[in-house]
Amino acid sequence: TTVTVSATASHPIPTTLWGQMFEDISSGDGGLYGELLQNRAFQQVTPGTSAALNAWSAVNRASISVVADSTPLSNALPNALRVQIPSGTTGQSGVANSGFFGIRVNSAWTYTASFFYRFPTASSFRGNAQVSLQASNGQVLGSATVALSGAQTSWTQVTVKITPTSSPSATNNLFVVSLDGAAASGQTINFGLFSLFPPTFKDRANGMRMDIAEALAEMQPSFFRFPGGNNLEGQTTATRWQWNNTVGPLTSRPGRVGDWGYINTDGLGLFEYLLWCEDVGMQPIMAVWDGFALGGTSVAEAAISPFVQQAIDQINFVIGDPTKSAPAALRSSLGHPAPFTLNHVEIGNEDFIGNSPSTVGYRWNHFATTLRSTFPQLRFLATSDLNSPVLSPQPQEWDLHVYQTPTWFAQNSFMYDGMARDGTLYFEGEYAAISTNPNDIFGSPADGRLTFPTVQSSVGEAAFMTGLERKLLVVLVVIICIPIHPGHHIGNSDIVFAASYAPLLNHVSNSQWTPNLVSFDSANVYRSTSFYVQKLFSLNRGDQYIPSTLPSQTGTLFWSVVSKQTNTIIIKVVNVATSAQTVTFRLPFSGIASTGTAQVLTGAATASNSPTTPNAVSPVTSSIEPASTFPYNAPANSLSVLTFGIN
Ligand SMILES: [NH3+][C@H]1C[C@H](O)[C@@H](O)[C@@H]1CO
């Protein structure tokens, strides 16, 4: 295959092209969000049930139960953990939390632990609670003490620091709050809102788990879509994600039953998402709920305006003027008086699911009409099927999703070339090769579903991504006597402004969806082969697109050429075949450097990075010798990023 590369760029590469899609799908609580305790505040549980005690256990004969406290910690957190220390107990007695399928104990870290407590009945008890991290055999790995008083009948919070003395490799450790059984014999204490945080990314209070945050930041994403995805929608209108329930003190956050089968604490809330975007250098692509819940209910047209108002308030929390808007004033009071960066707001999620198409017409109309007139500087994304039904007002931007086979992705890198050129922009908001079975994309692993990305699925995605990066061949309508300046183009600009793999992140011990870009357990982060593809594209995105001979749409070799600051050329070559192939580039540039680098991701088609083989496949860097006629031998199942200087 010979590829002729143009001497001049045709388009700028949108700075937002590569980024991340996030929702809490075994990825927020117990994952990116730094809180290490599961069910820390007994949110959304039914007192007296065993489910209410999820992740909690009694230590040394204490009797424990979740109660609806007669004087609740807050309106948002009505439940308390009642602990009764039995009479005649010797040794430490109390409660233990097992975390999210484990708790990593690291002696290099200082943990911050806290809880609220009150004595429902005043007592003469004065004594210490021991707050500790313990191995499963009871060995104390780190601990601190805090004085409790039986005179304390109203809620009060205590906080301690714990620096473990060892770093066991085992993660089946426990967080324990206990009292001396003899001293506390017969005492009853109510506890609420426990918390255990390790150090966080950029040391943010209520922040992100460092190793996961660092892995995500390593990809240098330019945007972050949140809060969903399905998890925006709620199974019912009442359980939808509501921005105002996710901001302010944790005692004001009731949590919600999420859309992936577990309770969300909403400790990772709108303000944390926005600070996270700033910390990583991403702009938000923020969704607002648009009147459809996944259980199938749509808000009636006549009842929709309060929900439109809630979306206005959510947007004003992000960008409003604190002197004019209460939500903006709330943002300011939380420490961010300046507006956050926000350019794109998505209205709903997947408004093609179930019966949502039957009501998306009026729902979109009300949300888009009102929001566009309220915030003319923002662009709003539709997420229904493209122009089906036809929406009014016409969407400025669409979020399209595709989950398919590796072969589909390899053969559909021209998907956007046929899109109408009418100024509409596209966000490929969710895409991933998730199954090798075209007849059962969303099936089980036994039926072709991937548990982790494989080299084959990742390379298929890479082929597709060369198409996202490539802009439509510019059809230059030469208008007589209007000189076309080199580098300028008329008729068409890039139409894909953003793309993100989905889902981004999952806990391997409790997945709701596979495969994912990054996986983790309580102590490790697993970067998938698709993560490396995303990272290679993101870190080598260049700033100008350079046209070249088009690949064959159904071939097995794909490429895209970009330039960076005019003096660097980056060629991405994808070979989805199971044998190596040579592609010869005809390079018209002057001053081609004699050496350059190749970063190559390749391996056996079914190879994956996983907990058992965490580093099976990662990019390997070697040198290349580019020239005006430059043959490159692309390995089987590979993405190669070739970089060299020109002048
Ligand atoms: N069903 C997928 C589509 C939806 O938007 C996401 O929540 C799911 C996983 O990425």
- Is the model's pLDDT at 480 over the cut of 70? no
pLDDT score, position 471: 65
Token digits for 205? 């209070």
Question: pLDDT digit string (tens) for 313-362?
Answer: 999 999 999 999 999 999 999 999 999 999 999 999 999 999 999 999 99
> Closest ligand 1 atom, CA of 503?
10
Alpha carbon of residue 537 to chain centroid: 18
- Is the model's pLDDT at 476 over the cut of 70? no
Residue bearing the CA closest to ligand 1, atom 4: 229
Give 204 Cα–ligand 1 centroid separation in angstroms: 29
Ligand 1 touching residue 513 (CB < 6 A):
yes
Instruction: Determine the average pLDDT of the residues in 33-38.
Output: 98
The number of C-alpha atoms within 13 Å of 640 and in the hemisphere containing its C-beta is 26
Taking phi over 0 as left and psi of -120 to 50 as alpha, with beta for the rest, 387 belongs to left
- Is the model's pLDDT at 390 over the cut of 90? yes
Ligand 1 touching residue 78 (CB < 6 A):
no
Give 78 Cα–ligand 1 centroid separation in angstroms: 32
Judge whether 2-11+542-645 and 20-32+202-539 match in fold: no
The answer to whether residues 19 and 537 touch, using CB atoms and an 8 Å cutoff, is no
Separation of alpha carbons 17 and 535, rounded Å: 12
Helix (H/G/I), strand (E/B), else coil: 126 = strand
Ligand 1 pocket check: which of 513, 514, 530 to mutate, most ligand atoms within 8 Å of Cβ?
513
Residue for token digits 């190596």? 580
- Supply the Cα-derived Rg of the chain in whole angstroms: 27
- Is the model's pLDDT at 422 over the cut of 80? yes
Q: Which of 2-11, 28-37, 480-489, 517-526 comes out lowest in average pLDDT?
A: 480-489
Ligand 1 pocket check: which of 430, 505, 511 to mutate, most ligand atoms within 8 Å of Cβ?
430
Ligand 1 touching residue 542 (CB < 6 A):
no
Separation of alpha carbons 534 and 636, rounded Å: 19
Separation of alpha carbons 337 and 328, rounded Å: 8
Instruction: Determine the average pLDDT of the residues in 411-438.
Output: 94
Ligand 1 touching residue 430 (CB < 6 A):
yes
Q: Beta-carbon neighbour count of residue 248 at 10 Å? A: 16
Separation of alpha carbons 25 and 398, rounded Å: 23
Give 566 Cα–ligand 1 centroid separation in angstroms: 38
pLDDT score, position 479: 35
Cβ-proximal residues to 220 (8 Å cutoff; 6+ apart), any chain = 18, 281, 535, 538, 539
In the chain, pLDDT over 70 holds for what percent of residues? 96
Check whether domain 51-199 has CATH 2.60.120.260, yes or no: yes
Question: pLDDT digit string (tens) for 170-180?
Answer: 999 999 999 99
In the chain, pLDDT over 90 holds for what percent of residues? 94
The answer to whether residues 562 and 13 touch, using CB atoms and an 8 Å cutoff, is yes
Give 257 Cα–ligand 1 centroid separation in angstroms: 17
Distances (CA, A) of 465 to 7, 344, 574: 22, 22, 10
> Closest ligand 1 atom, CA of 429?
5
Residue bearing the CA closest to ligand 1, atom 6: 229
Per-position DSSP letters for 473-536, written without gaps between them: PP-----TT----TT---S----EEEEEES--EEETTS-SSS--SEEE-SS-EEE-HHHHHHHH
CATH code given to domain 2-11+542-645? 2.60.40.1180
- Is the model's pLDDT at 492 over the cut of 60? no
Distances (CA, A) of 103 to 97, 136, 298, 524, 614: 9, 11, 41, 11, 20
Ligand 1 touching residue 516 (CB < 6 A):
no
pLDDT score, position 566: 86
Separation of alpha carbons 639 and 17, rounded Å: 18
Q: Which amino acid is at 451?
A: T
Alpha carbon of residue 620 to chain centroid: 27
Ligand 1 touching residue 228 (CB < 6 A):
yes
Give 618 Cα–ligand 1 centroid separation in angstroms: 27
Mean pLDDT, the chain, whole residue set: 95
Domain ranges of the chain: 2-11+542-645, 20-32+202-539, 51-199
Give 27 Cα–ligand 1 centroid separation in angstroms: 13
Ligand 1 touching residue 603 (CB < 6 A):
no
- Is the model's pLDDT at 569 over the cut of 70? yes
418: confidence class by pLDDT, cuts 50, 70, 90: confident
Element holding 411 (H helix, E strand): helix 406-411
Separation of alpha carbons 68 and 152, rounded Å: 18
Instruction: Determine the average pLDDT of the residues in 8-35.
Output: 96
Buried b (16+ CB within 10 A) or exposed e, 57-95: ebbbebebbbbebeebbbebbbbbbbbbbbeebeebbbb
**Shortest CA distance to 499 belongs to which of 279, 222, 219?**
222
Residue bearing the CA closest to ligand 1, atom 9: 503
The number of C-alpha atoms within 13 Å of 451 and in the hemisphere containing its C-beta is 14
Ligand 1 touching residue 350 (CB < 6 A):
yes
Instruction: Determine the average pLDDT of the residues in 191-210.
Output: 98
Give 9 Cα–ligand 1 centroid separation in angstroms: 36
CATH H superfamily, domain 20-32+202-539: Glycosidases (3.20.20.80)
